[in-house]
Structure 1
């Protein structure tokens, strides 16, 4: 009986390590859009 409990504990621990051990972050680099300037009022006919 104790071998079955030990086996179940080892399988559970192995599953925990497999599920939580691979926490690699993926970084995505996004190119920013160019900033355009607002049109400026320079007069009625310019």
Structure 2
């Protein structure tokens, strides 16, 4: 089972670049464009791995 990484950055190009590189290395990624968005994703619980 791959590790899941939450990437947080307000620059869309950076988010895309980091996600592509990490996915190439075998990680599963989730992206957020702000700290608030990241907290909402984490608090939702649906993006957490068991």
TM-score (norm 1): 0.32
- Greater RCO (CA < 8 Å, at least 6 residues apart): 2
Is the radius of gyration larger for structure 1 or structure 2?
A: 1
TM-score (norm 2): 0.29
Structure (1/2) with the larger helix percentage? 2
